[in-house]
Chain A
Amino acid sequence: MSDATASPTAPGELEAEALRQDHRTRWLMSLPAIAIILCAAAGPLMVMVVYSFLAPGDYGNVKWEFSTEGWVSVLLQRDIFDGTLAWADAHLSIFWRSLSLSLITTVVTLLIGVPTAWFIATRPDGKREFWLFLITVPFWTNLLVRTIAIQELIRAEGVINLILLKIGLIQEPIQMMFTNFAIGFGMSYVYLPLMVLPVYAAVEKLDFRLVEAAHDLYASRWKAFRLIILPLIKPGVIAGSILVFIPSLGAYVTPRVLGGGKNLMFGNLIELQFGQGRNWPLGAALSLTLMVAVMIALIFYVRATSRETHNG
Chain B
Amino acid sequence: MAETSLPATPESAAAAAPRGRAYNARTLPGFATVAICAFVIIYAPIIILVVFSFNAGTTLAIWEGFSLRWYAQAAANEQVQGAAIRSLYLAGSAATIATVAATMAALATTRTRRFPGRTMIYALINQPLMVPEIVTAVALLIVFAWVKVATGHNSMIYLIAAHTAFCIPFAYLPIRARLETMDMTLEVAASDLYASKKQVFTKITLPLLMPGIIAGYMLAFVISLDDVVITEFVKSAGQDTLPTYMLGQLRRVVTPEVNAISTVILLAGAILVSLFFWFSRGRE
Contacts and interface: CB of A to CB of B under 8 A. Distances in A.
B35 A120 contact: yes
A119 B31 contact: yes
A294 interface: yes
Interface string B244-266: 00110010001000110010011
Interface stretch (B6-14, B40-48, B65-73, B74-82): B40-48
A148 B124 contact: no
Contacts of A116: 34-35, 38-39
Interface in B52-74: 52, 59-61
Contacts of B137: 252
Contact of B117 (A27, A40, A283): A27
A277 interface: no
Contact of A37 (B125, B259, B265): B125
B46 A47 contact: no
A141 B135 contact: no
B2 A144 contact: no
A295 B130 CA distance: 7
Interface in A222-272: 224-225, 229, 246-247, 249-250, 252-253, 256-257, 267, 270-271
Interface residues of B, number: 100
21 contacts: A1-B107, A36-B98, A40-B162, A115-B35, A136-B273, A137-B273, A144-B246, A145-B266, A148-B259, A149-B46, A151-B250, A152-B52, A152-B60, A152-B259, A192-B42, A216-B2, A221-B29, A246-B132, A250-B132, A287-B134, A288-B135
Interface of B: 1-3, 18, 23, 25-32, 34-39, 41-46, 48-49, 52, 59-61, 97-98, 100-102, 104-105, 107-109, 112-113, 115-118, 121, 124-125, 127-128, 130-143, 145, 161-162, 164-166, 168, 172, 187-188, 191, 197, 222, 225-226, 228-229, 233, 243, 246-247, 250, 254, 258-259, 262, 265-266, 269-270, 273-274, 276-277
